[in-house]
Structure 1
């Protein structure tokens, strides 16, 4: 096997099921005994044969070195079997890749939306920054109710949660100038009736455009992408995994404190921030982790697993319970869960101008890159 990565085209719901099972097991595995990933230059053939016109699928970026079953190259194999048929070598067909066994989710280093004719950006199997960008640019697209192509990336408006900037923004992964971003954000937000214009700039060297947006009246926030290998931290036994509804009270208290300047709008905004969270578990495997005092949740965090990549989110502690190591317990349990899921990389986002970045650095997380959030009220 000489390919740096292989690709496997899959329905988003099928991938979510695979995350729960630990492996992708398409019907072809039971029917003919193998899974058919593709070299990067051939995945469009499978897409055209099996899913013509589809733009809502995802590509699994597979590290061949992590596959557990035998992998063989076979000459003259068509790009993919039609449902219910047994593939046979075809004269003049493309060389095929056959994986004899299930595709373990731990071999998937990234999950990328497949939106032809836009070419997908594929991270290297060992590219930490590329995998981080793939995760943070992919998740909002995969959970969105609508996705629209815009210069430099996509727009993901969600009319159900208009006050959530995370769910209503431009996700830009290719260079685009500030004037174009402003015009696009105005058009998208105006058409959707959104209260904010939001864009995330996720390409290398985006700081200059972020500065241009600041001069146009945008609030700019640099988000550091931090990562570390999986590995144990002490204290995880004090934390437990719970149903997400058990975290709602802590989220409500925390966000009402953080967003107090909104005044009467809090009663609109906070319920939407809580309600949006259930969307993530539809596309990645989410675990909500808490620590209790006298039965009450006083610290929490979330782990999102997407193949071999995990992300830590929303680690928080009630102010009255700080200084007792509860956040450490949440983080330790998160790393343990990531290890159990077969992940090799854990990442997070931390504001460049806030203290948590230093707290995470002391726990082994290193800065691997930056993204830039730009926000302007309507």
Structure 2
């Protein structure tokens, strides 16, 4: 299925998520939005943004566009036989099936509109790259870094989308960790057939966790109780309680670790539209989850229910509110990741989510792994 693309600065895209459409200056001045085919985008990129590697490509499904697309010649200097697509109307955010970091000369991975796995992987990778304080090219992908949240493995890790072997993963992670001062090594292995690499790293002393990628259409669930949208700060206490229960391995630095894990969360809303949803008991938040919207794809994240409040339907209320929001906004797909070995994946399956693929998250303590891989 053919897609079109539009190159844009991340801040302009984030603003469009709030208004529902992208309206670049060309729409007012020329009456259309400049689009490109994937094969053409290097021409406007080189002309308008020479040397830039902090932009994003909006992957547009032409079938979702309400206004006509007409093809016309480029500007002087473009090949004379090349025709560019022009959208004669604003670009709806609901027509954008993926938002992909544009980091030439690496070829961007552009999901098809009908490929739920590719759209899910693109969203998770894109958020990590776009919110990172620093991004480095490494074999197989990139390293994302944020020294303000050094204990957050989600923000200081390798994100690998092309096949590399276990030795390369271990050596690259060790080198970046040593330079950046990470207290851990971590990598996402997001290519088909990464199982053998994950198993080999386990033999080297790494921890490996397979995550099932699940998806469902953004349609509202049956009538029932719904959670409420809340200011994210109201969820902090629930997060702190949950992370303190789960992080006994970090006991010596527990206060700092939890503070960083809570403190990092506000940055997601800088790059995608975030809504925190919660259920209260006695005025206290006891269950919460998060919907992250990035065009026509939305991710459901961080569903937590206080142990003392489980079994009362709070998780269903949070998920239902997220699906309602996604459906109302015209999002076509809701995705999530669930531990392949734990019960939540079956809970989500009973609520319409279907497995579409898997990734691996691998991690280790930095010092021990550096020694073992010399």
Fold shared per TM-score above 0.5: yes
Of 171, 196, 206, the match for 1:183: 171
Task: Give a deviation string over 1:267-301, Cα, whole Å, max 9, x none.
Answer: 01101000110111110000000011121111100
Q: Distance in 1 between matches of 2:167 and 2:88?
A: 51
Q: 1:366 to 1:174 in 2, by over 3 A?
A: same
Task: Give a deviation string over 1:286-342, Cα, whole Å, max 9, x none.
Answer: 000001112111110000000000000011111111111010000000001111221
Of 235, 246, 249, the match for 2:237: 249
1:87 aligns to what? none
Q: Distance in 1 between matches of 2:321 and 2:99?
A: 24
1:374 aligns with 2:362: yes
1:259 aligns with 2:256: no
Which region of structure 1 is more displaced relative to structure 2, 263-272 or 181-190?
Answer: 263-272
2:130 aligns to what? 142
Tell me, yes or no, if the aligned pair for 1:197 and 1:377 is still in contact at 8 Å.
Answer: yes
SS in 2 for 1:160: helix
1:83 aligns to what? none
Tell me, yes or no, if the aligned pair for 1:236 and 1:331 is still in contact at 8 Å.
Answer: no
1:169 aligns with 2:157: yes
1:70 aligns to what? 68
Of 201, 213, 221, the match for 1:213: 201
1:85 aligns to what? none
Task: Give a deviation string over 1:81-108, Cα, whole Å, max 9, x none.
Answer: xxxxxxxxx8826201110000000000
1:125 aligns to what? 113
Tell me, yes or no, if the aligned pair for 1:227 and 1:367 is still in contact at 8 Å.
Answer: yes
Q: How many residues align?
A: 366
TM-score scaled to structure 1, two decimals? 0.94
2:259 aligns to what? 271
Q: Distance in 1 between matches of 2:33 and 2:210?
A: 41
Runs of 4+ in 1 over 6 A off after TM superposition: none
TM-score scaled to structure 2, two decimals? 0.95
Task: Give a deviation string over 1:171-191, Cα, whole Å, max 9, x none.
Answer: 000000110111100010110
Of 146, 159, 168, the match for 1:158: 146
Q: 1:49 to 1:260 in 2, by over 3 A?
A: same
Tell me, yes or no, if the aligned pair for 2:227 and 2:279 is still in contact at 8 Å.
Answer: yes
Q: Distance in 2 between matches of 1:360 and 1:204?
A: 23
Q: Distance in 1 between matches of 2:224 and 2:237?
A: 22
Tell me, yes or no, if the aligned pair for 2:288 and 2:304 is still in contact at 8 Å.
Answer: yes
Q: Distance in 2 between matches of 1:238 and 1:106?
A: 24
1:38 aligns with 2:36: yes
SS in 2 for 1:200: strand
2:346 aligns to what? 358
Of 86, 91, 103, the match for 1:115: 103
SS in 1 for 2:302: strand
Tell me, yes or no, if the aligned pair for 1:9 and 1:43 is still in contact at 8 Å.
Answer: yes
Q: 1:21 to 1:236 in 2, by over 3 A?
A: farther
CA drift at 1:260:
2.7
Q: 1:39 to 1:323 in 2, by over 3 A?
A: same
RMSD: 1.4
Tell me, yes or no, if the aligned pair for 1:78 and 1:96 is still in contact at 8 Å.
Answer: no
1:102 aligns to what? 90
Structure 2: gaps (5+ residues): 367-374
Which region of structure 1 is more displaced relative to structure 2, 159-168 or 228-237?
Answer: 228-237
Q: Distance in 1 between matches of 2:359 and 2:75?
A: 41
Of 7, 10, 13, the match for 1:12: 10
